A and B are shown apart, each in its own frame.
Chain A
Amino acid sequence: MKAYLNRRYLFSAAHRLHSDVFSESENRYLYGKCNNPYGHGHNYIVEVCVSGQVDPKTGMVCNLVDLDECVRAQVIERYDHMNLNLLPEFKNVVPTTENLCVEIYEILKREFQHAHLERVRIEETMMNSFEYAGGVEPRR
């Protein structure tokens, strides 16, 4: 029997939306307040969804301890209390939450081997969220 497991994690980081392909005024127009040269921050909530057969012996899709450890080491350690713009993956990519979502999905796809990664969803604020499922349509 296949089941889906969702777990939420939290980190806080700073970013600034700015792209060198646009002029100063285009950046201000396009990104508005998010273009403030000093940056600003969010409490990001990352929701990780993994799936797999429920192991009849443990009753688990995967051990939450393994998922927690992987997300902590690969994602939280990397992003918590950091300035996203200064990280290598955002050197030439604007750290919008769309791009952050894709980045975290790629990290977990590579690093987490105990279950199938379905999707990564990030809440940037109470009002905005973003989902990436590897470029394919997620389940409804």
Chain B
Amino acid sequence: MSKYVYLTRKCEFSASHYYHNPEFSAAENRRIFGKCNNLNGHGHNYTLELTVKGSVDSQTGFVINLVDLKEILNREVLDVFDHRHLNKEVPEFAKQIPTSENIAISIWNRVEPKLKMLNAVIHRVRLYETPDLFVDFYGEA
């Protein structure tokens, strides 16, 4: 039986955003998105938990070298999201609402190809918007 282990690394970033869909009227936007529709934006401290899975390498004892994982998180996530305005500074949110659901999918799309280059398999992106609210994304269903 292969020794299949799941490894999770946590990191934090702070960013601002607002929710607004130009296809809705101003009243609809307010009704659907509530306080999040304030166009001056608001912010969160996000906590990201990235889980990769794989067999434990018999020579190193690792699923993935944590240094490589940290480097991917720094480059692909923190450099892009930390202390940024998501609607204005992250390209995929010019046309897409930066909900936690969409941010989790965006993080998956950013890190997945980089992990693949290291033969690591991504399992889950868990993103906390506040300590009481988080989303999980496991890739396309």
Using CB atoms and an 8 Å cutoff, list the residues of chain A in contact with chain B. 17, 19, 21-22, 30, 32, 93-96, 98-99, 101-102, 126-138, 140
In the complex the two chains form, is A19's CB within 8 Å of B10's CB?
no
Q: How far is the CA of A135 from the CA of B3 in the complex (A)?
A: 5
In the complex the two chains form, is B11's CB within 8 Å of A130's CB?
no
In the complex the two chains form, is B7's CB within 8 Å of A128's CB?
yes
Chain B proximity of A54: nearest CB distance (Å) = 26
- Count of chain B residues near A, Cβ 8 A: 23
In the complex the two chains form, is B136's CB within 8 Å of A130's CB?
no
- Nearest A residue to B54, CB-CB: A98
Most chain B CB neighbours (cut-off 10 Å) among A98, A132, A138? A98
In the complex the two chains form, is B59's CB within 8 Å of A129's CB?
no
Chain A proximity of B9: nearest CB distance (Å) = 6
29 A-B residue pairs with CB within 8 Å: A19-B61, A22-B59, A30-B60, A32-B67, A93-B61, A96-B61, A96-B62, A98-B61, A98-B63, A101-B5, A102-B5, A126-B10, A127-B9, A127-B10, A127-B11, A128-B8, A128-B10, A128-B66, A129-B7, A130-B6, A130-B7, A130-B63, A131-B7, A132-B3, A132-B4, A134-B1, A136-B4, A138-B6, A140-B136
In the complex the two chains form, is A131's CB within 8 Å of B61's CB?
no
In the complex the two chains form, is B59's CB within 8 Å of A21's CB?
yes
In the complex the two chains form, is A95's CB within 8 Å of B5's CB?
no
Chain A residues whose C-beta falls within 8 Å of the C-beta of B59 in the assembled complex: 19, 21-22
Q: Which of A30, A93, A132 contacts B5 (CB 8 A)?
A: A132
Segment 1-45 of B: residues with Cβ below 8 Å from A: 1-11
Given A127-B10, A128-B8, A128-B66: A94 and B60 interface contact (C-beta under 8 Å): yes
Chain B residues whose C-beta falls within 8 Å of the C-beta of A135 in the assembled complex: 1-4
In the complex the two chains form, is B5's CB within 8 Å of A17's CB?
no
Most chain B CB neighbours (cut-off 10 Å) among A22, A93, A99? A99
Question: Besides the contacts A17-B61, A94-B60, A102-B56, what 11 more A-B pairs have beta carbons closer than 8 Å?
Answer: A19-B59, A21-B59, A98-B3, A98-B7, A99-B61, A130-B63, A132-B5, A135-B2, A135-B4, A136-B4, A140-B138
Chain A proximity of B66: nearest CB distance (Å) = 7
Chain A residues whose C-beta falls within 8 Å of the C-beta of B63 in the assembled complex: 98, 130
Chain A proximity of B68: nearest CB distance (Å) = 11
Interface assignment of B96: CB less than 8 Å from any CB of chain A: no
Chain A proximity of B115: nearest CB distance (Å) = 16
Chain B residues whose C-beta falls within 8 Å of the C-beta of A140 in the assembled complex: 124, 136, 138
